[in-house]
Amino acid sequence: MGEFELIRRFFVPLANKAMTDQLVLGPGDDCAIQRVPEGRDLVFSVDTLVEGVHFPANYSPFCLGWRALAVATSDLAAMGATPVCFTLALTLPEAQPEWLADFAQGLAKASDNFGIALAGGDTTRGPLAVSIQVHGTVTQGSAIRRSGARPGDLICVSGPLGAAGAALEFLEATAPASDEKAVLARYHFPEPRLALGQQLIGRASAAIDISDGLLADLEHILEQSGVGAELDANSIPMLPELRRLKGVAALSLALTAGDDYELCVAIAPDQYAALAPEVQGGLIIIGRIQQASGLRVTGADMTESPAGFDHFGRSV
C-alpha cells in the first residue's frame, strides 16, 4: 500500500467530518489552513511516542491512537486552551491494513472525545513512532503558564496519581485481574483535563500536566516561578486499586511515576474557594507554595530519589 492510498483510506475519513470555522482547510493540499479568531492567541505543542521508549512492542494500535492524541492534547489543557486541530506524523515499519484501521479508530475516538480535528500529516517508513502537533486557542494574554506561582498559593492536582506508572508491570498480562485492569485503564486511556483547564483561566497562578511524575513536573513550576513548595504525602490522591496492588510503594509511584496526565495547579486560596463548587472535587489540595526554595514532602519517609522520567537521564 502506497503512502497516498494509506492516507486516503485511513486518515482522510477522520478529517472529512472535522472541518470547523477555524480549520479552513484540512488534509489534501500542501498545507492546512487554520484561522485564528480576533482576540485569540494560538497555542501549540508537539509530542512524540516511540516504540520501546513510550510503549512496548506489539502494543494495541487502538490504544496507541487514543494515547498519542491524549498525551499531546494534555498540554493544551495545562494552558487552558480550547483544542482546534492536530497534525499527525506516523512512522511505520510496514503498512498493515488491520493495524492501521485499529490505530485510526483509536485516533478517531480520541478526536471526537477531545473535540480536536485532524488537519493533516505525513507518513514514512521506519521504526514505529507517532508524532502529534496540537493547536488550540486562548483569549489573548490569558494562557496559564508555569511561571506564575506565588508564595501562599495552594498546590492542587486534578485526580489520582501513580496508577499509570504501576500499569507498566502489567502491560503484557494476558488475563489481568480487576485491580490490574483499573491501573491499565489509566495508562491506555488518559483523559486530558480540558474542561478544567479552561475553568482555570484567570484563576490559576500556574499549571502543568503531569507527564513525567508529580515531583519532576512541579519542579518546573518552582524553577520558573522562583519559589519553593511543601507537599503533604497524606493528601496525595491514589486509586484504591493502586494501594491494594502496591501497598507502601504506592506513594512513591504517585510522587514520581509519569503518564498520569492530570494537572498540577498553583492557585490562590480565594480563587480556589470560588472555583471549588464548580469543579466538584476536581481539584485536590496537596500542598502549598512557599517563598523558600526547594521541594519538601512531609508525612512520609522518602526512601527513594524523587526523580521523574527524563529521556536523556534516568527513569524511576
Q: How far apart are CA 16 and CA 178, in angstroms?
A: 39
Q: How far apart are CA 205 and CA 267, in angstroms?
A: 5
Q: How far apart are CA 53 and CA 63, in angstroms?
A: 16
Q: Which amino acid makes up residue 237?
A: P
| 260 in a labelled binding site | no
Q: How far apart are CA 286 and CA 137, in angstroms?
A: 29
| 60 in a labelled binding site | no
| 45 in a labelled binding site | yes
| 41 in a labelled binding site | no
| 47 in a labelled binding site | yes
Q: Which amino acid makes up residue 259?
A: D
Q: Which amino acid makes up residue 129?
A: A
| 135 in a labelled binding site | no
| 305 in a labelled binding site | no
Q: What ranges in the chain are assigned the alpha helix state H?
A: 3-6, 12-16, 61-78, 97-114, 163-167, 178-188, 194-199, 214-225, 240-246, 250-256, 269-279
Query: Which amino acids are annotated as binding site for ATP, given as ranges?
Result: 121-122, 146, 211
Detail the residues annotated as belonging to a binding site for substrate.
54, 259, 309
Residues in the annotated binding site = 30, 45, 47, 54, 75, 121-122, 146, 209, 211-212, 259, 309
Detail the residues annotated as belonging to a binding site for Mg(2+). Answer: 30, 45, 47, 75, 122, 209, 212
